[in-house]
Amino acid sequence: MLSGEEFGRLFETFERTAFRLETLPVYSVAEEREEFERFLAGEDMGPDWGDNPWVRSMTDKGKHVSRVHVLRSPLTDYLRYELAAYPGNITAGEAIGIIDLADHDVHGLPDHDFWLFDDRDVYRMHYTQEGAFIGAEPQPARTLAEYQGYRDRALAGAVPFATYWERRR
């Protein structure tokens, strides 16, 4: 199991593509607490909100970063916060899709988060019940096709974030 720091290094070393499937209604990220509180209070989120520097650090190198977030309306406060940040991720070059299980179900997806790097390395993400990151578990090579299938089903079943966001308004 990779710790946060060890796992973080993968974002510096992947060569072409990084895909994430997200499934939790809440993530407890210590580094986001202050920003989350500002969001809930309706305060200004600052310049990084409009163009995510972390995403930009990868896409400026020609790398493709994408995710599909599987969620269910009504949104938790955390999901409202996270989705409100997605336009800045998109501006920075990330492709984001949404599957809202309240609108339609997509069968054959796992009930856990994962990252797929360069279409060859899979890491299953582990979290506490409260959504705090525990670690990333490298998956054996024999599961690669299974996780590629999950990615493909998620991408096929997702609507682009902008379409989802517009429908919510």
Which domains, and CATH codes, for the chain? 4-168 (3.30.870.10)
Q: What is the pLDDT of residues 37-65, one digit of tens each?
A: 999 999 999 888 899 999 999 999 999 99
Which SS3 state, helix, strand or coil, does residue 114 take?
strand
Torsion angles phi and psi, residue 162, rounded to 5: -60, -40
Structure tokens at 4: 């946060």
Give the number of other Cβ atoms within 10 Å of residue 129's Cβ. 7
CA-to-CA distance for 114 and 127, rounded, in angstroms?
11
What DSSP character marks residue 30?
G
Q: Are 77 and 37 in contact (CB under 8 A)?
A: no
Q: pLDDT band for position 149 (50/70/90)?
A: very high
Q: By CB neighbour count within 10 A (0-12 exposed, 13-18 middle, 19+ buried), where does 5 fall?
A: exposed
Q: What is the pLDDT of residues 66-112, one digit of tens each?
A: 999 999 999 999 999 999 999 999 999 999 999 999 998 899 999 99
